[in-house]
Amino acid sequence: MADPRFFDGLGPLTLNEIAALSGAAISDSASGNDTVCEVAPISEARAGRLCYLENGRLLKAHPDIRLDSVVILAPESLAGALAERGAKVLVHPQPRAAFGRAVAGLFRPRELSAEHAIDPSARIAPGVRLGVGVVIGADAEIGEKVMIGPGSVIAPGCRIGAGSRIGPRVVIQCADLGENCNILSGAVIGEAGFGAAVSDEGLVDMPHLGTVEIAASVTIGANSCVDRGLFGPTRIGEGTKIDNLCHIGHNCQVGRNVAMAAFAGVSGSCVIEDDVMFGGRVGLQDHITVGKGARIGGNSALAESVPAGETWMGDPAQPLRQYLRQVSEVRRLARRDTRTPKKKD
């Protein structure tokens, strides 16, 4: 369910209305007058929620999920099996894109006031210092002794913990920040993540209904971005330090006391456990886990998970000793080639 602190509900919608928004067809297992007001991933399916399935793999991965009265956008090949499990099926050949279009009719992020730079309903504690041009949305909560720099925007419903420092021209939305955080100039926290569904009419942006949760004493560097989750939260653990010009994708779970040097790029749904350290310009493929205490050398590109405590480096990244052996062998071959005499004509 989209957090009402950050999102306005536009529903309920009937299945007829969802079909019109998404281009789906209502199957025999559903009635056009049935209504939906919530959305969820299939792993959290409940009666009256709208979900989507692109293939049967998730059904096999979650065999115990009850689908009675769950509304599911799915390809025709899955309609029969879903109906047998009690689901109400909307048929579409590209269900993810159809879901994206439908969700836009059910929820939207709360908007800033057109009349007040500081909304009257915002709760601002004693000792807060606000720079010129700061905008604070409805129901936002700003803790004691927070400092917010000029031109920064705190969207509706956000919470900034006591003692935190928000630099100039920072944008924070759909987010909950702990105490004593340091968000440097130009950072963007809680913007929608990157998710585009393929459709015959072109790419469709996936609405992101999740949040960002940042624990105490976290630093986010200048011009860095932390995307909110698709459904649930993106999390940054206590004491983590992220350098300038880094990116944390949607649904990532970053542990405590993690250090990331500049230009780190973490794709969606990665897990970075406690005490991990990244050198500069490290990149991670999505759905990767980096184990507790691991070290990743600069310029590395991770395409697989890293066990706890190991040091990896390279492109593609690999255990450090293996990487160094490969570098040494390449150099040896290069020297041999330069020493090989050229044949005379």
- Using the 3D structure, point to which of 89, 109, 129 is the last residue of a domain: 109
Can you count the helices (H) and strands (E) in the chain? 5, 40
Full-model pTM? 0.92
Any idea what DSSP says for residue 169?
Answer: T
The whole domain housing 17 covers 7-109
The verdict on 183 and 314 lying in the same domain is yes
Indicate whether 52 belongs to any domain. Answer: yes
The verdict on 190 and 317 lying in the same domain is yes
The verdict on 178 and 308 lying in the same domain is yes
Residue type, 277: M
The verdict on 181 and 286 lying in the same domain is yes
SS3 labels along 4-62: CCCEEECCCEEHHHHHHHHCCEECCCCCCCCEECEECCHHHCCCCEEEECCCCHHHHHC
The verdict on 180 and 271 lying in the same domain is yes
Band of the pLDDT at 246, cuts 50, 70, 90?
very high
| pLDDT tens-place string over residues 202-212 | 999 999 999 99
Best mean pLDDT range from 37-41, 198-202, 292-296 = 292-296
Distance CA 186, CA 48 (A): 40
Q: What does the pLDDT read at residue 171?
A: 98
Strand partners, 134: none
For the chain, give the mean pLDDT: 94
| pLDDT tens-place string over residues 131-157 | 999 999 999 999 999 999 999 999 999
| pLDDT tens-place string over residues 20-30 | 999 999 998 88
The verdict on 289 and 180 lying in the same domain is yes
Indicate whether 154 belongs to any domain. Answer: no
Which residues are annotated as catalytic? 250
Distance CA 249, CA 226 (A): 6
The verdict on 187 and 60 lying in the same domain is no
What angle separates helix 95-103 from helix 15-22, to the nearest 10 degrees? 110
Which of 17-21, 314-318, 338-342 comes out lowest in average pLDDT?
338-342
Name, in order, each residue with C-beta under 8 angstroms of 141's C-beta and a sequence gap of 6 or more.
Answer: 122, 123, 158, 159, 160
| pLDDT tens-place string over residues 75-107 | 999 999 899 889 999 999 999 999 999 999 999
Distances (CA, A) of 120 to 113, 124, 139, 140, 172: 10, 10, 8, 10, 18
Q: If you search the block for the tokens 């999740």, which residue do you land on? A: 210
* Average pLDDT of the segment spanning 250-270: 97
* Average pLDDT of the segment spanning 103-128: 95
Indicate whether 148 belongs to any domain. Answer: no
- The domain total for the chain is 2
CATH number of the domain to which 234 belongs: 2.160.10.10
Indicate whether 99 belongs to any domain. Answer: yes
Distance CA 78, CA 81 (A): 6
- Using the 3D structure, point to which of 109, 138, 163 is the last residue of a domain: 109
Residue 154 parent element (H or E): strand 153-154
Six token digits for residue 204: 């469709």
Percent of the chain exceeding pLDDT 70 equals 97
CATH number of the domain to which 99 belongs: 3.40.1390.10
Indicate whether 54 belongs to any domain. Answer: yes
Q: What does the pLDDT read at residue 338?
A: 62
The verdict on 186 and 300 lying in the same domain is yes
Residue 66 predicted with pLDDT over 90: no
The verdict on 213 and 313 lying in the same domain is yes
Q: Are 131 and 168 in contact (CB under 8 A)?
A: yes
* Average pLDDT of the segment spanning 7-30: 94
Strand, coil or helix: 212: strand
Six token digits for residue 238: 């206590």
Residue 344 predicted with pLDDT over 70: no
Distance CA 254, CA 299 (A): 20
Higher pLDDT, 276 or 327: 276
Residue 341 predicted with pLDDT over 80: no
Band of the pLDDT at 55, cuts 50, 70, 90?
confident
Six token digits for residue 22: 């998404």
Indicate whether 48 belongs to any domain. Answer: yes
Residue type, 158: C
Indicate whether 24 belongs to any domain. Answer: yes
Indicate whether 157 belongs to any domain. Answer: no
Residue 121 predicted with pLDDT over 60: yes
Band of the pLDDT at 337, cuts 50, 70, 90?
low
Distance CA 250, CA 70 (A): 25
- Using the 3D structure, point to which of 55, 86, 109 is the last residue of a domain: 109
